[in-house]
Amino acid sequence: MICKRGYKGYIYLEDGTLIEGCGFGAKGIRAGEVVFTTSMNGYPESLTDPSYRGQILVITHPLVGNYGIPKPIVENGILRNFESERIQVEGLVVAEETDPYKWNSQMSLHDWLKSEGVPGVSDVDTRMLVKKVRNKGVMMGVISSGIELDDPKKYLEKKYDEIDFTQFTSPKSPIIHQGSGKGIIVLVDCGIKHGILYQLNSRGYTVVRVPCNFTANQIMDYSPQGVVFGNGPGNPKLLQGLIKTYKDIVEYKVPIMGICLGHQITSLALGGNVRKMKYGHRAINKPVIDVTDNKCYITTHNHGYGVFKEDVPKDMKVWFYNPDDGVVEGMIHNKLPIITTQFHPEARPGPWDVTWVFDKFKKVIESGRP
């Protein structure tokens, strides 16, 4: 195989599969859970989504890199075109990585991965790889770019589900984004996407991002009008401290919104359950049905764990579900001002059809009712 960047690359799966391709981006070896997204675009946003920490991402769209990587645009400390300040995935696998052709491209995908020390592998039969993951379920794997992979098993000692990745993605101290109005929302930041910050801040709220391990007292010291438990990486059941904080916050009856990881933490804190899915939902065109009016929306997803119908806490009801597999994609509390979505109402990447969920949260805050 002749490789465009001059070096080879490999993907090794824990079931023994070894795939040879071409290396791109940084030279190096990393381990991670191998997951795939069917998103057709939005790779700058996906690669910087902290929920992908610990994972090797396979993009099923055959050409990746066509429009390059834009210059970051920051307003009020909020990134408008990336989801965090760095690439979060452990590695990237594509069929073909291309050089950019677009007016606002600042650098190629290859140069971006290289500058951030993240390995990529191209020229891979991603369809075969995805079929394997779909049939067997997500697996641990090793990605190597530009380095021979002699003994891949030695990189596979740690299991994705047993690592608390929020230690890498949560800020160490609070970060404040001033709003135009008076209200304060505390956003519990276990590795949030800037799209969520943007949606809250653009509705006038001052958003205080607090570390994932802040206590309820520390959160309530800000006298927030609402508390948002945002997205984040890894296994929600490892976050027992966060679950405790959630339970304590519920006692204050303050309006709560849970997004993705926050939806899962809601279920665990209120007596429900969360389970690992076979290969998760990662896409920007997943259908969800709103049971209140039976409307179907096309939404952005990135989750490997899920709340199933029988896992919903007894004081909550299903708000959204995915008609493909029945996974619960949103919940509303029967009495308390608590709403959640498993999908990403902030999209990025993806359609903005469901940003009204943030307006709904504003109404919940104003009325004090779910």
Give yes or no for residue 260 binding ligand GLN (CB under 6 A).
Answer: yes
Give yes or no for residue 228 binding ligand GLN (CB under 6 A).
Answer: no
Residue labelled with tokens 């610990």: 54
Segment lying near ligand GLN (by CB under 6 A), choices 80-88, 96-104, 226-234, 316-324? 226-234
Q: Is 326 annotated as a binding residue?
A: no
CB-nearer residue toward ligand GLN: 110 or 263:
263
Give yes or no for residue 231 binding ligand GLN (CB under 6 A).
Answer: yes
Length of the chain: 370
Residue pair 72/106 in contact by the 8 Å Cβ criterion: no
Residue labelled with tokens 């995805």: 130
Give yes or no for residue 257 binding ligand GLN (CB under 6 A).
Answer: no
- The CB-of-206 to ligand GLN minimum distance in angstroms stands at 23
Q: Is 231 annotated as a binding residue?
A: no
CB-nearer residue toward ligand GLN: 110 or 282:
282
Give yes or no for residue 255 binding ligand GLN (CB under 6 A).
Answer: no
Q: Is 264 annotated as a binding residue?
A: yes
- The CB-of-138 to ligand GLN minimum distance in angstroms stands at 10
CB-nearer residue toward ligand GLN: 255 or 304:
304
- The CB-of-51 to ligand GLN minimum distance in angstroms stands at 3
Strand stretches in 113-165, DSSP E: 119-122, 139-145
CA separation (Å) from 341 to 16, 24, 62, 143? Answer: 37, 36, 30, 32
- Helix crossing, 240-251 with 261-269: angle to 10°? 70
Cis peptide before 349 (omega within 30 of 0): yes
- The CB-of-282 to ligand GLN minimum distance in angstroms stands at 9
Give yes or no for residue 304 binding ligand GLN (CB under 6 A).
Answer: yes
Which residues are catalytically annotated?
260, 344, 346
CA 300/CA 347 separation, integer angstroms = 5
CB-nearer residue toward ligand GLN: 233 or 330:
233
Indicate the SS3 state at residue 268.
helix
Q: Retrieve residue 45's tokens.
A: 């946003």
Q: Is 10 annotated as a binding residue?
A: no
Do the bridges between strand 63-64 and strand 55-59 make them parallel or antiparallel, or are there none, so unpaired? Answer: unpaired
Contact residue for ligand GLN among 126, 206, 302, 341 (CB under 6 A): 302
Give yes or no for residue 246 binding ligand GLN (CB under 6 A).
Answer: no
CB-nearer residue toward ligand GLN: 144 or 267:
267
> Within a 10 A sphere around the Cβ of 211, how many other Cβ atoms?
16
- The CB-of-48 to ligand GLN minimum distance in angstroms stands at 13
- The CB-of-151 to ligand GLN minimum distance in angstroms stands at 29
Contact residue for ligand GLN among 5, 286, 303, 333 (CB under 6 A): 303
Residue 293 burial by Cβ neighbours in a 10 Å radius (0-12, 13-18, 19+): exposed
CA 95/CA 336 separation, integer angstroms = 48
Contact residue for ligand GLN among 37, 46, 48, 51 (CB under 6 A): 51
CB-nearer residue toward ligand GLN: 37 or 144:
37
CA 305/CA 312 separation, integer angstroms = 14
- Closest by Cα among 338, 110, 148, 335 to 227: 338
> Residue 207's beta-bridge partner residues?
177, 185
Q: Which residues bind ligand GLN (CB under 6 A)?
A: 51, 231-234, 260-261, 302-305
Enumerate the known binding-site residues. 51, 232, 234, 261, 264, 302, 304-305
